[in-house]
Structure 1
């Protein structure tokens, strides 16, 4: 697994690539918990390059979402790979996440993202228009 984290103003971007499994999901969980532990109004997790996603990865995302909500922040998943979407769907957690296909260049849209519609292709695309 490969992780990166960038902070630009009020937006923290975490990028994940490779396999997220039992042996390394704790690293993702720790990173997201650290990000959620500081003032982070918006955390965007890019998941397009994830090739395997286990239950521990799902737990890391759910925990981070809860921590951010408790602190008044948001967790947004950006372009989750087919593997990630499938696992989130099977576990019943997919409808609880805000999912976007892209963010505007400045990283923040004035409109809030909408949650994915249960059972649909409900991916939200944020655009500058």
Structure 2
């Protein structure tokens, strides 16, 4: 019998770090994971006036459904008087974000440390 390797199921981990809401996207962010991610993403972006950091560092795959999740999170945070920052060290993912037009609405940095050392995200973007 041939062994199969399971694909890394996409999920998010939500934490509070230095007054920021940190949403780390893990694994494959695609149609299969989007439906399970959406309720937690909505809960994490529900409060007014918060700075939310979407960290794509732990992602292994990111497609148009990932873009939809980012767009939704950005819109929800903006409508509630907050802002969304993006951490993304992956050049191909950044290209997709740019081509989708999201880069004009998101301050993007390559590392989480850059946000954490910039006065809790205040100086970024």
User: Which protein shows a greater Rg?
Assistant: 2
Q: Which residue of the partner structure matches residue 23 of structure 1? A: 32
Q: CA RMSD in A?
A: 2.2
Cα 1:100–1:67 shift into 2, 3 Å: same
TM-score by length of 1: 0.74
Shift of 1:54: 1.2
- Name which of structure 1's ranges 55-64 and 36-45 shifts more when overlaid on structure 2: 36-45
Q: Which residue of the partner structure matches residue 120 of structure 2? A: 108
The residue matched to 2:93 in structure 1 has which SS?
Answer: helix
Structure 2: runs of 5 or more not aligned: 1-9
Cα 1:107–1:8 shift into 2, 3 Å: farther
Structure 1 stretches of at least 4 aligned residues deviating more than 6 Å after TM superposition:
none
Distance 1:14 1:36 in 2: 10
Distance 1:39 1:9 in 2: 17
Contact 1:16 1:45 in 2 (8 A): yes
Q: Does 1:57 align with 2:66?
A: yes
Cα 1:74–1:51 shift into 2, 3 Å: same
Contact 1:46 1:80 in 2 (8 A): no
Structure 1: runs of 5 or more not aligned: 115-129
Contact 1:43 1:75 in 2 (8 A): yes
- Name which of structure 1's ranges 90-99 and 18-27 shifts more when overlaid on structure 2: 90-99
Matches within 5 A, 1:32-111: 32-39=41-48, 41-101=50-110, 102-105=114-117, 108-111=120-123
Shift of 1:58: 0.5
Contact 1:11 1:40 in 2 (8 A): no
